[in-house]
């Protein structure tokens, strides 16, 4: 990818052509989020001696896994101009399904994991059908799914946690380490792997291209002969698959499926996506940005905790950061 | 009855006058030396083709724009208004073709929106509101209940509410833009009755209409404007519809660049029969030949865009059949249309044609992405770029790079990007809806040449345009529509401004 330099604009009559080509600007956006991450990271490194060390950085990464996974799927939905509020409780439902498959039904771990991820896809498929075929606004459709999934998680589990004590291999998925000698959790590697897949899907495949097109201008995309409804269903289903993966990750890390958790994760995922420079109105965004956004959130949480700032204040600060990040992004677009 | 020039009060000035009004927009001379004279107690019709300057004139009168030169006089005194509100205060009310009513509020609430009677400036006096509305409704003898919700009313009754609202400002000048476009004959008669009741020695009405036949029934005089200029004002009793039409279109054609007829041995590419939609279209049928530019002429709301949208499956057809290359096809969505190699270039380029925030290459590659530019779902970026660059060269799209965001291109170049998108898709049928809207004069010429070149290469083109000279210049044949129906198909040799305009102003609703 080259970034063509524009030294001279075409003929007269072109209204104020931007001096920064699209590609360079996309990079700039990531620089901005990345710069924010560096600043926050450097701040805590100086402020607390307990922050910058292998153990703590590893635990920051581990804490990023669940939000990061959910945020990956949410990125696709938001770029296509939609929203997904169901990923939090959907994740809890998927965790309960993993417990049902593996602990209650005694399925082998790989099969249980596969079915859990597919179940997540099913949640997304229902969202997609509601949005694309029934034309229910995404906010409403996924709000309904948020409630339904949260309820189902409690119903199926009888409101009690399901433990994976019989299958030690399941816990290894998250906190085991396949890198010999290093104490580096697998789940971080898994996040890295699925982030690469998501990145390729978004920037290199027609799925990603159509997500941008639909988010940019749904009607024009439809009139260009693109099957918009079909692609929307696929995009929500994809977000559901990531929800399923997140359900596996969180339950294997905790060693149990907690049916009552999940609520609030969807907002953190959206926050990560937005901090990463993805526009809530669709058509703009990137996977790298989302990862940086998720990292900023977990670095903040971790650093503030190390500095003994109470949990309540952490949320206040996170709120401020979100406004700051989005404002900075808008200011950049105005000047660009 | 027009006021007699020798009437005793002829010494005073006309109610509303415009003198030497000029309004320019970048690249467009919207009005040049415009003149208008509305006498006391008369209904003055204002007629002109699409783009003649009627709406610009209205926007000047209501203060949406201010004139570059010239002035308006109200009762002989200079009139300067800075916005619609001020125009209302000076006694000028306008009723737009699209109503400005809040559908969820009642008739009374709509009429006094923003001027509700209140206790202490805060608490609404609903009873007083309804009483005042009733008073107004009674004075106009309207069959309305002030408590009724506007959204539940028929179009004709909503228009009555608009009129009542306009008159509640104590209007002296009432301007009506296409008031009968959506009314049937009985409703038109009621409207005309209402207008006559409104006209008193100290008021006047400017009545804008395309329906030339009905001007006889309502207008005292008819002012014709053309290409932003005042042409002539005719006294209705001594004027025929033909007189009006000839003055409306009386411009010389640009050169003799008339297209030839398509040769008879060409195949029929596309044929449409019995196309109807719930909203407007009624039994529309036409054939499109290979390598032909088929022009669609008609006035606003005639149904030309609706034909295009129904044809590509963007709107639902209630009935009708489409045959493509001799085979019946069913087109339920724009995706189906694209599959059959029919491309639609919308009149609303920015909203419906382009992804303005995306790169030029993304737009050019969009329609054919799935078909040409992917393997196993992976986008062949380099192929997209090379193709985009080729078309940028071919169509002479002025852009420094195919990676440039499309919104930075000029209107003409944006249009070429949309054309490139469909050429990449290898469309045989291209439907251009207002291909030169918002494009400056020089770039228009380029688009014309491009259309001719595409037709020579065997593409079949449907060209919808509100600019009659454009239709006549490019089209091998012209389909004329009025009120959702095809009123005539003319060959290039037959098609002239007058007979096209005559077919375009035919009325159906309510009669025959």
pLDDT greater than 90 at residue A159: yes
Instruction: Name residues 281-310 of chain B within 8 A of A (Cβ).
Output: none
Angle, alpha carbons A316-A317-A323 (nearest 5°) = 95
- Which chain A residues touch B404 with a CB distance below 8 Å? 6, 17-18, 21-22
- Residue pLDDT, tens place only, B32-57: 889 999 999 999 999 887 667 888 88
Q: Which of A203, A225, A232 is the best substitution to test chain B (most B C-beta atoms within 10 A)?
A: A225
Contact B335 A13 (CB under 8 A): no
Answer whether residue A245 is part of any domain.
yes
Instruction: Tell me the percentage of chain A whose pLDDT exceeds 90.
Output: 70
Of B337, B370, B399, the CB nearest to A10: B399
Asked if residue A242 lies in contact with residue A70, where contact means CB atoms within 8 angstroms, the answer is yes
Of B353, B358, B410, the CB nearest to A14: B410
Distance of CA B379 to the CA centre of its chain: 40
Asked if residue B468 lies in contact with residue B497, where contact means CB atoms within 8 angstroms, the answer is yes
Residue A252: predicted pLDDT: 95
Residue A297: predicted pLDDT: 93
* Minimal C-alpha gap between B362 and chain A (Å): 8
What is the bridge-based pairing of β-strands B477-482 and B293-298? parallel
Structural element, H or E, at residue B506: none
Coil, strand or helix at A150: helix
**Rounded average pLDDT over A235-252:** 97
Nearest CA in chain B to A23: B403
Answer whether residue A56 is part of any domain.
no
Angle, alpha carbons B59-B305-A213 (nearest 5°) = 95
Contact B333 A284 (CB under 8 A): no
Answer whether residue A4 is part of any domain.
no
Listed in sequence order, the residues at least 6 apart from B237 whose beta carbon sits closer than 8 Å to its beta carbon are none
User: Can you give the pLDDT of all 512 residues of chain B as single tens digits?
Assistant: 444 444 444 456 789 999 999 988 766 678 888 999 999 999 999 988 766 788 888 888 888 888 999 999 998 889 888 888 888 888 898 888 778 888 888 999 999 888 888 888 778 888 999 999 999 999 888 889 999 999 888 888 898 898 888 888 888 999 998 888 777 777 888 889 989 988 888 899 999 987 777 888 899 999 999 888 899 999 999 988 888 888 887 754 444 455 655 555 678 999 999 999 998 899 999 999 999 999 999 887 889 999 999 999 999 999 999 999 999 999 999 999 999 999 999 888 878 889 988 999 999 999 999 888 988 889 999 999 999 999 999 888 888 889 998 888 888 889 899 999 999 998 999 999 988 877 766 677 888 888 998 998 889 999 998 888 889 889 999 999 998 999 999 988 888 888 898 898 887 654 43
What is the bridge-based pairing of β-strands B92-95 and B485-491? unpaired
- Which chain B residues touch A215 with a CB distance below 8 Å? none
- Residue pLDDT, tens place only, A68-127: 999 999 999 999 999 999 999 999 999 999 999 999 999 999 999 999 999 999 999 999
**Rounded average pLDDT over A151-164:** 96
Tokens of A300: 């903040």
Angle, alpha carbons B132-B134-B138 (nearest 5°) = 120
DSSP codes joined into one string, A27-89: HHHHHHHHHHHHHHHHHHHHH-TTTSSHHHHHHHHHHHHHHHHHHHHHHHHHHTT-----HHH
Answer whether residue A164 is part of any domain.
yes
DSSP codes joined into one string, B375-388: ETTEE-HHHHHHHH
- Which residues are registered as beta bridge partners of B177? B208
Distance CA A67, CA A63 (A): 8
**Rounded average pLDDT over A225-230:** 93
- Which chain A residues touch B314 with a CB distance below 8 Å? 222-223
Answer whether residue A277 is part of any domain.
yes
Cα–Cα distances in Å, from B111 out to B118, B171, B416?
Answer: 15, 14, 46
Domains, chain B, ordered by start: 14-91+171-250 (3.40.50.300), 102-170 (no CATH), 266-341+429-441+460-509 (3.40.50.300), 353-427 (no CATH)
Distance CA B458, CA A141 (A): 48
Coil, strand or helix at B318: coil
Answer whether residue A247 is part of any domain.
yes
Distance CA A231, CA A81 (A): 12
Q: Is A264 in CB contact (< 8 Å) with chain B?
A: no
- Residue pLDDT, tens place only, A172-204: 999 888 888 778 899 999 999 999 999 999 999
Distance CA B463, CA B446 (A): 15
Contact A220 B353 (CB under 8 A): yes
Listed in sequence order, the residues at least 6 apart from A259 whose beta carbon sits closer than 8 Å to its beta carbon are A92, A93, A95, A96, A153, A154, A156, A157, A159, A160, A161, A162
DSSP codes joined into one string, B24-81: EETTEEEEEEEEEEEPTT-EEEEE--TTSSHHHHHHHHTTSS--SEEEEEETTEEE--
Residue A9: predicted pLDDT: 36
Nearest CA in chain B to A12: B410
Residue B140: predicted pLDDT: 84
Which value, to the nearest 10 degrees, does the dihedral of the CA atoms of residues B493, B497, B502, B504 take? 100
Distance CA B417, CA A132 (A): 29
Distance CA A274, CA A75 (A): 9
Answer whether residue A116 is part of any domain.
yes
Instruction: Name residues 417-456 of chain B within 8 A of A (Cβ).
Output: 421, 425, 440, 443
Answer whether residue A155 is part of any domain.
yes
Contact A220 B357 (CB under 8 A): no
- Which chain B residues touch A231 with a CB distance below 8 Å? none
Domains contained in chain A, number: 1
Reported ipTM: 0.76
Structural domain boundaries enclosing A196:
66-285
Residue B257: predicted pLDDT: 55
């Amino acid at each position: 990818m080259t970034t063509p330099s524009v030294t001279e604009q075409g003929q007269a009559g072109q209204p104020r052509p931007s001096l920064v080509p699209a590609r360079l600007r996309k990079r700039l956006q990531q620089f901005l989020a990345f710069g924010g991450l560096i600043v926050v990271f450097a701040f805590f490194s100086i402020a607390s001696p307990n922050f910058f060390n292998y153990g703590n950085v590893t635990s920051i990464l581990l804490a990023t896994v669940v939000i990061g996974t959910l945020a990956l799927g949410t990125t696709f939905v938001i770029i296509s101009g939609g929203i997904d509020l169901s990923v939090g409780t959907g994740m809890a439902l998927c965790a309960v399904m993993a417990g049902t498959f593996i602990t209650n039904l005694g399925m082998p771990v790989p099969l249980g994991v596969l079915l859990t991820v597919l179940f997540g896809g099913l949640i997304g498929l229902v969202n997609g059908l509601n949005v694309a075929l029934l034309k229910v606004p995404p906010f409403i459709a996924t709000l309904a799914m948020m409630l339904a999934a949260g309820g189902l998680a409690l119903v199926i589990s009888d409101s009690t946690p399901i433990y994976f004590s019989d299958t030690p291999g399941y816990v290894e998925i998250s906190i085991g380490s396949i890198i010999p000698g290093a104490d580096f959790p697998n789940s971080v590697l898994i996040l890295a792997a699925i982030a690469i897949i998501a990145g390729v899907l978004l920037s290199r495949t027609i799925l990603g291209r159509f997500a941008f097109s639909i988010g940019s201008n749904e009607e024009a995309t439809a009139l260009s002969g693109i099957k918009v409804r079909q692609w929307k269903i696929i995009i929500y289903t994809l977000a559901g698959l990531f929800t399923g993966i997140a359900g596996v990750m969180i339950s294997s890390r905790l060693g149990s499926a907690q049916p009552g958790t999940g609520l609030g994760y969807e907002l953190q995922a959206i926050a990560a996506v937005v901090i990463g420079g993805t526009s809530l109105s669709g058509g703009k965004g990137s996977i790298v940005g989302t990862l940086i956004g998720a990292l900023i959130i977990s670095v903040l949480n971790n650093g503030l905790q190390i500095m003994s700032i109470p949990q309540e204040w952490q949320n206040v600060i996170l709120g401020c950061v979100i406004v700051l990040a989005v404002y900075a992004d808008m200011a950049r677009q105005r000047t660009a | 009855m027009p006021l007699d020039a020798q009437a005793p009060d002829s010494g005073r000035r006309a109610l509303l006058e415009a003198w030497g009004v000029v309004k320019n927009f970048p690249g467009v001379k919207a009005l040049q030396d415009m003149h208008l004279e509305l006498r006391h107690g008369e209904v003055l019709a204002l007629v002109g083709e699409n783009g003649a300057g009627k709406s610009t004139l209205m926007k000047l009168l209501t203060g949406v724009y201010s004139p570059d030169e010239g002035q308006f006089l109200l009762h002989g005194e200079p009139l300067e208004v800075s916005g619609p509100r001020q125009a209302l205060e000076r006694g000028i009310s306008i009723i737009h073709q699209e109503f400005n009513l809040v559908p969820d509020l009642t008739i009374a609430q709509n009429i006094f929106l923003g001027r509700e009677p209140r206790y202490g400036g805060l608490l609404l006096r609903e009873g007083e509101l309804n009483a005042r509305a009733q008073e107004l409704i009674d004075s106009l003898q309207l069959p309305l209940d002030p408590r009724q919700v506007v959204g539940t009313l028929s179009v004709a009754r909503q228009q009555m509410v608009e009129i009542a609202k306009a008159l509640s400002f104590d209007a002296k000048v009432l301007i009506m833009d296409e008031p009968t476009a959506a009314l049937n004959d009985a409703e038109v008669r009621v409207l005309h009755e209402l207008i006559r009741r409104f006209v008193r020695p100290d008021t006047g009405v400017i009545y804008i209409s395309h329906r030339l036949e009905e001007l006889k029934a309502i207008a005292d005089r008819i002012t014709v404007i053309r290409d932003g200029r005042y042409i002539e004002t005719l006294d209705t009793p001594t004027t025929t519809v033909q007189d009006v039409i000839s003055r409306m279109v009386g411009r010389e054609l640009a050169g003799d660049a008339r297209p030839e007829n398509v040769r008879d041995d060409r195949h029929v590419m596309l044929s449409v029969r019995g196309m109807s939609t719930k909203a407007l279209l009624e039994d529309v049928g036409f054939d499109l030949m290979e390598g032909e530019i088929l022009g669609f002429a008609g006035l606003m709301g005639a149904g030309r865009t609706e034909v295009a949208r129904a044809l590509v499956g963007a709107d639902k057809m209630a009935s009708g059949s489409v045959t493509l290359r001799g085979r019946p096809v069913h087109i339920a969505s724009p995706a189906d249309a694209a599959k059959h190699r029919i491309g639609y270039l919308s009149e609303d380029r920015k909203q419906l044609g382009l992804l303005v925030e995306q790169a030029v290459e993304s737009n050019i590659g969009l329609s054919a992405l799935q078909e040409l530019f992917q393997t196993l779902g992976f986008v062949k970026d380099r192929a997209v770029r090379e193709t985009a660059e080729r078309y940028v060269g071919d169509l002479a799209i002025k852009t420094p790079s195919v990676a440039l965001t499309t919104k930075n291109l000029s209107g003409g170049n944006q249009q070429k990007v949309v054309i490139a998108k469909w050429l990449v898709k290898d469309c045989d049928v291209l439907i251009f809806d207002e291909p030169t809207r918002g494009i400056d004069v020089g770039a228009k010429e380029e688009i014309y040449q491009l259309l001719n070149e595409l037709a020579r290469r065997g593409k079949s083109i449907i060209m919808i345009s509100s600019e009659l000279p454009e239709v006549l210049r490019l089209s091998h044949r012209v389909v004329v529509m009025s009120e959702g129906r095809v009123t005539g198909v003319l060959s290039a040799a037959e098609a002239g401004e007058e007979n096209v305009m005559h077919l375009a102003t035919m009325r159906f609703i309510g009669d025959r």
